[in-house]
Structure 1
Amino acid sequence: MAKISDKSITKLNSKKGLKYFLLDETMTPLKAVKLLNYETKLKKLQVELRKLQEWVENNDEKVVILFEGRDAAGKGGAIRRITQHLNPREFRVVALPKPTEEEQGEWYFQRYINNLPRKGKIVFFDRSWYNRAVVEPVNGFCTQEEYNIFMNQVNDFERMLIESGTRLIKFYFSISKNEQLKRFEDIKSSPLKKWKFSKVDQNAIKLWDSYTDYKNKMFEKTNTEISPWIIIKANRKSQARIEAMQQVLNLLPYNE
């Protein structure tokens, strides 16, 4: 068993540390220390994110942060931790539903353009225009021609965004096949989470290799110098959230 330092023992004896043991019969000292350390890091980073948001507001910046990845990769959870203490009037989380019949007749990027930030705002996309790069072709939601057109246009679209003053960050949350299966089982067995399990999720494991092929094509084509992908290893949710926060803070030149 790993030795616990005096500093960690002090943390365990705090109100928060004792609360973990009261609420969870399976809690161990080592696990409790990890949770306490995670919450400490989280709070510090959230303070910095508030400073970053003020910098965005004061300098009329426009920031777009994309969260992509397989189903159950932890994208939504990361967005919730990042935005937890931000001013809700100055940011939006966009998770677009299936396009309407009218939207299907528009230029593919149109409905995403309608959700881009104005000056002084941040927009978080919980899945983005990259649906057409992976999810749609894998599940037969678009034609081969529509896929080809998207892949030919997406780099130019992002270049125009960036050259027009929008700061773009692209995250891909990467999990293993076993971890995805484990999370699906957890979702299905939870009365509070099972609503999240969709028909697309049902096919995700079966279509794992197809997702991988299209994901690799996406990286090969769209991991550009001006708009690179940042891959977050997300088998450990807490670690993935901390890394995503730190990346945002490192990539934007706010005043610490």
Structure 2
Amino acid sequence: MSTSKKSTKPLVKRMRKRLYEDELERLQIELVRMQQWVIDTGARVVVIFEGRDAAGKGGAIKRVMQYLNPRFARVVALPTPNERERTQWYFQRYIQHLPAAGEIVLMDRSWYNRAGVERVMDYCTPEQYQRFLQQAPAFERMLVDDGIILIKYWYSVSDEVQEERFHSRRNDPMRRWKLSETDVASIARWEDYSRAKDAMFEATDHAEAPWWTIESDDKRAARLNTINHLLEQVPYEPREPKPVDIPARPDTDGYERPAKESFRYVPDHAERIQKKG
């Protein structure tokens, strides 16, 4: 990647922050209601997030997951397969992460790794790739036939915005881990990834589990579009969590707390910072 200084002016005019935050809050409240319906009815939901590196998948997943009950919702982001997993049927390592009744699974990349990075970077053989394109629609039809709600999103980002985000990650010590050698290589292989994506769509965009494309140069707009569409894809009836009665605190029965000096306390770093300020 070039080390030349990048312009600090953003390439995309983003949605107004206040408007974004207000609508995000409304949609996230609705997500909680939708999840309650999933829990109550025993529905099973799988949402696949795919797209180019730095397309905004992680940020969208974070906003979807933010207020959901983590006992019934989880993010699946699998690492590189180990030696044993590489000898399994390709879909095998993903099956164990599918939801049980009442659960929502958000997949930060999925079995479609084979049709994308594995294909472009020659991490799989041509035979394995072709077998995947043949088996993926059948595999997904089995999931849908069994009652799983399967939703597939593709995040589409322009080459200019992707490179801008790569530079931002490189210069940010908290996000530098997101920038891998494979990510950087995607700049030089932009058209290879485009061809791989086109072939993947042609083979796996079927009526039972279609691909939905989300333009993601504007991250704020992409997140709202994702949540709004996700809510439309789940045939739920809004449900509120069951009300909880909080009892009055009983009168003391003479308990006395031990002296503070008998406990080990974490040093008050926050107080030191405030004094310095």
2:158 to 163, 172, 176: 176
Q: How far apart are 1:32 and its partner, in Å?
A: 11
1:248 matched residue in structure 2? 230
1:213 to 195, 198, 214: 195
2:34 matched residue in structure 1? 52
Identical aligned pairs, as a percentage?
A: 47
More helix by share: 1
CA–CA separation in structure 1 for the residues paired with 2:236 and 2:15: 31
SS at match of 2:16: helix
Q: Deviations over 1:83-136 (max 9, x none)?
A: 100101111100000001010110000010010000000000000000001110
Matches within 5 A, 1:149-228: 149-228=131-210
2:71 matched residue in structure 1? 89
Q: Deviations over 1:42-62 (max 9, x none)?
A: 000000000000000000000
SS at match of 2:105: strand
Q: How far apart are 1:140 and its partner, in Å?
A: 1.1
Q: Deviations over 1:160-185 (max 9, x none)?
A: 00001100000000000101000000
* Residue 122 of structure 2 is aligned to residue 140 of structure 1: yes
Q: Deviations over 1:177-235 (max 9, x none)?
A: 10100000000011111111101011010000000000000111111111100000000
Q: How far apart are 1:253 and its partner, in Å?
A: 1.0
* Residue 84 of structure 2 is aligned to residue 102 of structure 1: yes
Distance 1:112 1:32, change over 3 A: closer
What are structure 1's unaligned runs of at least 5 residues? Answer: 1-25
Q: Deviations over 1:23-69 (max 9, x none)?
A: xxx9xxxx999111110000000000000000000000000000000
Is contact 2:119-2:129 (8 Å) kept? yes
Q: Deviations over 1:225-255 (max 9, x none)?
A: 1110000000000000000000111111111
TM-score by structure 2 length?
0.80
CA–CA separation in structure 2 for the residues paired with 1:219 and 1:103: 26
CA–CA separation in structure 1 for the residues paired with 2:204 and 2:25: 33
CA–CA separation in structure 1 for the residues paired with 2:233 and 2:192: 32
SS at match of 2:151: strand
* Residue 100 of structure 2 is aligned to residue 118 of structure 1: yes
Equivalenced residues, count:
227
SS at match of 1:220: helix
CA–CA separation in structure 1 for the residues paired with 2:218 and 2:155: 11
* Residue 225 of structure 2 is aligned to residue 230 of structure 1: no
Please tell me the residue identity of whatever aligns with 1:198. Answer: S
Is contact 2:158-2:217 (8 Å) kept? yes
Aligned-CA RMSD value: 1.4
Distance 1:87 1:144, change over 3 A: same
What are structure 2's unaligned runs of at least 5 residues? Answer: 1-7, 239-277
SS at match of 1:183: helix
SS at match of 1:205: helix
CA–CA separation in structure 1 for the residues paired with 2:227 and 2:184: 30
Is contact 2:14-2:218 (8 Å) kept? no
SS at match of 2:155: strand
Distance 1:103 1:145, change over 3 A: same
Please tell me the residue identity of whatever aligns with 1:227. Answer: A
